[in-house]
Amino acid sequence: MTTMMRDAWTDERLDDLNAKVDRGFAHIDTRFDRMEERSERMEERFGAMERGIEMLEDRFYALNRTLFQLGGGIIVAMFGIVVTQL
């Protein structure tokens, strides 16, 4: 069975096509709006993560400084013990 092509584009058919295209673009617009909202939330989350990482780095630097001071104190104490044994 062959399908006949419609050659006549009536105003009603054009209006229907126009409405269908408008609905499609409206749907796309809402999807873009949702993506923008998600993007903003992601930026907020990444900002919070960056602040958390900076805080963690500060704690590691403090731990490193404390361990360095503790190690230096142990070396000085051991040197003192060796000197007193001579």
pTM greater than 0.85: no
Is the model's pLDDT at 49 over the cut of 90?
Answer: yes
Q: What secondary structure does DSSP assign to 18-33, as a single string?
A: HHHHHHHHHHHHHHHH
Phi, psi at residue 6, to the nearest 5°?
Answer: -85, 120
- pLDDT (0 to 100) of residue 1: 46
Residue 7: phi and psi, rounded to 5, are -95, -20
80: left (phi over 0), alpha (psi -120 to 50) or beta: alpha
Task: Indicate whether 86 pLDDT > 70.
Answer: yes
Q: What is the pLDDT of residues 52-64, one digit of tens each?
A: 999 999 999 999 9
- With 70 as the cut, is the pLDDT of residue 4 above it? no
Mean pLDDT on 52-79: 96
d(CA 12, CA 4): 19
